[in-house]
């Protein structure tokens, strides 16, 4: 019997995936988590054979949750099941220690096969993703991995300008957005990066190489 923990922040996906897995022979669902932090806590408690992990979740994203679970529980395999098929997300998950990566919408038998494979210590990826990984490890050019794969393109753009020292009003003017839209995006960025304020987000962004093209304007680092 392979024990499985499911982590996804969408209740319908969570219940549907649990119902699917419970129909499969040889699989026992031992827990479910609605965010990355809960996934790490539950995994540490129940020590499942496999964690089926979404990537974009509150409190702690799936990539960081994978990294923590693999570090704490080397005997537990993480299988990513997500909607994100971009190179940045795939490579970030693999670097964090995920043994498998499937896209939501995969057939039931593919999910069952992937769970069985990663529980045996094998690596398994969807056909298109496997091709990318082969090209990557063979040295073929791939699109560069972007920092903070949990952010949307717009959120990453706003974070880049924040790291360059621009205020929300200046960012709004630069991107032709309303100040309210920028403020809402900044709040989402803080949540996804798990930071309490602007200054901490800027530190993370600059450490990742963002903000280097923008001059510092003397903005208040704690401005929302």
Q: Is residue 212 part of a domain?
A: no
Angstrom distances, CA of residue 55 to CA of 92, 101, 163, 176, 204: 10, 10, 24, 30, 19
Residues 108-118 have pLDDT tens digits of 888 889 999 99
Residues 27 and 76 in one domain: yes
Residues 13 and 80 in one domain: yes
* Per-residue pLDDT band at 222 (split at 50, 70, 90): very low
Give the pLDDT of residue 144: 53
Residues 117 and 189 in one domain: no
Q: Is residue 198 part of a domain?
A: yes
* Per-residue pLDDT band at 127 (split at 50, 70, 90): low
Residues 36 and 130 in one domain: yes
* Per-residue pLDDT band at 201 (split at 50, 70, 90): very high
Give the pLDDT of residue 79: 96
Phi-psi domain of 176 (left: phi exceeds 0; alpha: psi -120 through 50; beta: other) = left
Give the pLDDT of residue 209: 82
Residues 198 and 119 in one domain: no
Give the pLDDT of residue 217: 43
Is this prediction's pTM over 0.85? no
Of 111, 137, 163, the one marking the end of a domain is: 137
Residues 39 and 76 in one domain: yes
The CATH number linked to 76 is 3.40.50.2300
Residues 150-192 have pLDDT tens digits of 888 889 899 999 999 999 999 999 988 899 999 999 998 998 8
Residues 53-108 have pLDDT tens digits of 999 888 888 999 999 999 999 999 999 998 887 777 888 888 899 999 998 888 88
Residues 41 and 121 in one domain: yes
Q: Is residue 222 part of a domain?
A: no
Spatial separation of the C-alpha atoms in residues 126 and 148, rounded to whole Å: 23
Total count of domains within the chain: 2
Q: Is residue 216 part of a domain?
A: no
Give the pLDDT of residue 187: 92
Give the pLDDT of residue 97: 93
Q: Among residues of the chain, what percentage have pLDDT more than 90?
A: 46
Residues 55 and 79 in one domain: yes
Give the pLDDT of residue 132: 67
Residue 33, strand partner residues: 7
Residues 85 and 130 in one domain: yes
Q: Is residue 114 part of a domain?
A: yes
Give the pLDDT of residue 145: 59
Q: Is residue 221 part of a domain?
A: no
Residues 49 and 133 in one domain: yes
Give the pLDDT of residue 115: 94
Give the pLDDT of residue 151: 86
More confident residue, 223 or 194: 194
Residue 34 sits in which domain range?
Answer: 2-137
Residues 99 and 161 in one domain: no
Q: Is residue 161 part of a domain?
A: yes
Own/partner pairs for 180-188, CB < 8 Å, 24+ apart?
Answer: 182/158, 183/224, 185/154, 185/155, 185/158, 186/158, 186/162, 186/224, 187/224, 188/155
Q: Is residue 214 part of a domain?
A: no
């Amino acid at each position: 019997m392979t024990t499985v923990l499911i982590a996804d922040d969408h209740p319908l996906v969570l219940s549907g995936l649990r119902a699917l897995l419970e129909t499969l022979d040889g699989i026992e669902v031992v827990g479910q988590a609605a965010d990355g932090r809960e996934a790490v806590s539950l995994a540490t408690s129940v020590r499942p054979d496999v964690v089926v992990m979404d990537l974009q979740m509150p409190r702690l994203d799936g990539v960081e949750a994978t990294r923590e679970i693999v570090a704490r529980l080397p005997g537990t395999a993480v299988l990513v099941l997500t909607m994100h098929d971009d190179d940045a997300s795939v490579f970030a998950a693999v670097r964090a220690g995920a043994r498998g990566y499937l896209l939501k919408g995969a057939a039931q038998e593919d999910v069952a096969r992937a769970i069985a494979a990663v529980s045996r210590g094998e690596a398994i990826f969807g056909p298109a993703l496997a091709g990318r990984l082969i090209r990557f490890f063979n040295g073929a050019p791939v699109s560069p991995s972007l920092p903070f794969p949990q952010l949307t393109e717009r959120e990453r753009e706003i974070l880049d300008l924040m790291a360059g020292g621009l205020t929300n009003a200046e960012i709004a003017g630069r991107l032709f957005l309303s100040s309210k839209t920028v403020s809402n995006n900044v709040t989402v960025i803080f949540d996804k990066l798990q930071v309490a304020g602007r200054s901490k987000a800027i530190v993370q962004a600059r450490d990742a190489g963002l903000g280097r093209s923008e001059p510092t304007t003397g903005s208040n680092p704690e401005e929302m």
